[in-house]
A and B are shown apart, each in its own frame.
Chain A
Amino acid sequence: MNRRRMRRLAVAVYVLNVLAMTWPVATQFSAARPLILGLPLSMAWPVIWILIGLVTLLLLDHVENGRGRP
């Protein structure tokens, strides 16, 4: 993937993350059940987004840095 597309993807993930954590989208994931790996859904939901953030940043850094940027 080229750098511009990767940056756009990162911005898109960021916007989705903001929406996912706040009203009204978060209301769809606000219940305690089902449990996911023992955690309530309401807690697993932000944890999932932390992991998505980590993967996005790793990809972004890989692409940005793989092209000989300082």
Chain B
Amino acid sequence: MPQWVVVSSIIVAYLALTLWVGLRAGRKTSSTVTGFVAGDRNFGFLVMYFVTGATVFSAFAFLGGPGWAYSRGAAAFYILSYGVLGMMPWYVIGPKVARVGRQLGQVTQAQFITGRFPSRGLSLLIAIISIAALIPYITLQMRGAGIVIEAVTEGNVPLWLGAAVAYGVVLVYVLISGVAAVGWTNTLQGVFMIGIAWALGLYLPFKLYGGVGPMIDEIVTQRPGFLDLPGLDADGQPWSWAAYSSAILVSAIGIQMWPHLFMKAFTARDERIIRRTVVWFPTFQLFLVPVFLIGLAGVMFVDELAEPDFILPHLILNVELPLLMVGLFCAGALSASMSTGDALLHATASVAVEDGIRLFKPLSEAQQRYLIRVLILVAGVIAYFFAVSEGMSLVVLLLTSYGMIAQLAPPVVAALFWRRATTPGVIAGLAAGTATALLFFFLPDLKPIPMHEGIFGLCVHVPVLLAVSLLTPAQDGARVEAYLNPPSE
């Protein structure tokens, strides 16, 4: 039997297992919008832990992480640096968001913000920012899945087919079981990702260099400066400290503001579970250590790969791994892709219906659930179209989306902690911040220092939010009180 058939069989078996878990998950969920979008607010600790971890770490981490370490050296370590900084504030903010959401029946981020700052325009603006950021993200996940399958089957299963099969499975379980499927499949996928990353991250350095220490030692000797912070930029030139530091800050501010992560606050059974998820998140973060070791293993062995993101499949195929390992690696990469992709698809459709369409057309619960399902399919098809067409600069889109997503942080913080914040202030701040981030993204030469455009956006956003709020009449007490001091359960 040809090797690729064996590997494909392992992939098929893995996908079948995922599908089975996903379909089983939805059996107990109620047929309501809260059931489909927020899992009846009934996720336990184990599921929340893996949902958070597996959703944060996507195909971008599993393929892009080694790619960065391989091509840009120490620059990759910024990805290690922001996770805990991004999650720690959620220990305080997450439970508050959950409490307000439960009180006021919210299931999305825009509902949360407009609950304090009522405005259809604001809701629509948040929905547009979210969807504009989410679609390229989904596309990247699909491409990641397709690339891995194409590589390990030696081209016998082309990218378009691999992505279609993997995301066909995702669509089936998300459409039928909603967020409950996302929860349980992510638990399975999270275990796979962590296990396989550690196995490969230790195996490859030992096989190729005789250990982690000898590998690093050889790289440092042969490529002086490569592992010194802040590493290299995309063109192989030294990266600047301003860019490195601001990448950490904007990612830390943005990470929990991604709608698919933010919305998970509404799925937790109680506040204690959100807190415990934050407390244990650093253990998931450590999974990046073996991921980077995999990429570094390629530095001395693989000459100039045109597309560094392929380093992982490339190494896997050229190191004569046992076939079972190749199959399992593939399952790990698919896990990383699908565990983020499913949450993204689900969030995109939920946001479009709850924060966009429903504002202009009243819908019954059944209609909402139906429409969310239709839009999951639509979002999947759009992202698939981008994924299989070449020449789309998606990484670029994704990088700028972080700058836009980070602009959702000031409204959330203002809603929970600042009594004097007003609706016009929040709208003006968000519009000004997003516009600034976009301006510096498209015209990077205008930047006074080489920082991430999201930081410039925030530098404009926050003063505008403060000034306009103070110049407009204060909000009435009851609404403010519901957010500043939400009654505990």
- Please report the C-alpha to C-alpha distance between residue A37 and residue B252 in the assembled complex, in whole angstroms: 27
- Selected contact of B286 from candidates A17, A18, A23, A47, CB within 8 Å: A47
Bound together, the chains give a CA A10 to CA B85 distance in angstroms of: 12
Cβ contact within 8 Å between B81 and A21: yes
Q: Is the CB of B80 within 8 A of A70?
A: no
B270-329 CB contacts (< 8 Å) to partner A = 271-272, 275-276, 278-280, 282-283, 285-286, 289, 292
**When chains A and B are docked, how far (Å) is the Cα of A38 from the Cα of B217?**
8
Q: Which residue of the partner chain B has the closest CB to A25?
A: B245
Contact A23 B84 (CB under 8 A): no
B interface: dominant SS:
helix
Scan residues 178-221 of chain B and give those whose CB is less than 8 A from a CB of chain A.
211-213, 215-217, 220
Per the 8 Å Cβ criterion, residues 8-25 of A in contact with B are 10, 14, 17-18, 21-24
Nearest-neighbour CB distance to chain B for A11, whole angstroms, equals: 9
Neighbour of B220 across the interface among A10, A26, A37, A40, CB < 8 A: A40
From A26, A49, A60, contact of B84 by CB (8 A): A49
Residues of B close to A29: CB separation below 8 A: 229
Task: With both chains docked as a complex, state the minimum distance between the C-beta of A64 and any C-beta of chain B, in angstroms.
Answer: 8
A33/B279 in contact, CB under 8 A? no
Contacts A18-B85, A30-B229, A38-B211 given: A46-B80 contact, CB under 8 Å?
yes
B227 contacts which chain A residues (CB < 8 A)?
32, 40, 42-43
B341 within 8 Å of A by Cβ?
no
- Which residue, B80, B215, B248, has most C-beta atoms of chain A within 10 A? B80
Number of B residues whose C-beta is below 8 Å from A?
Answer: 45
Q: Which A residues touch B276, using CB under 8 A?
A: 61
B91 touches A30 (CB 8 A): no
Q: Mark A37-56, 1 if CB is under 8 A from B, else 0.
A: 11110110011011101100
Q: How many interface residues does chain A have, given as a range?
A: 35 or more
Looking at the assembled complex, report how far the CB atom of A69 sits from the nearest CB atom of chain B, in whole angstroms: 9
Q: Determine chain A's interface SS by DSSP, over half rule.
A: helix
- State whether B212 touches A39 (Cβ < 8 A): yes
Residue-wise, chain A 58-70 has the 8 Å CB interface mask toward B (1 for contact) of 1011001100001
Contacts of A31 in B (CB 8 A): 228
| Residues in B neighbouring A22, C-beta threshold 8 A | 244-245, 248-249
Say yes or no for B417: interface residue by CB 8 A criterion: no
- Please name 9 pairs of A and B residues whose Cβ atoms are closer than 8 Å in the assembled complex, sorted by A: A14-B88, A14-B89, A21-B248, A23-B241, A30-B229, A32-B220, A35-B216, A50-B84, A54-B280
A residues apposed to B, CB below 8 Å: 10, 14, 17-18, 21-24, 26-27, 29-33, 35, 37-40, 42-43, 46-47, 49-51, 53-54, 57-58, 60-61, 64-65, 70
| Interchain residue pairs A-B with the least CB separation, the first 5 | A38-B213, A30-B229, A53-B84, A22-B245, A32-B227
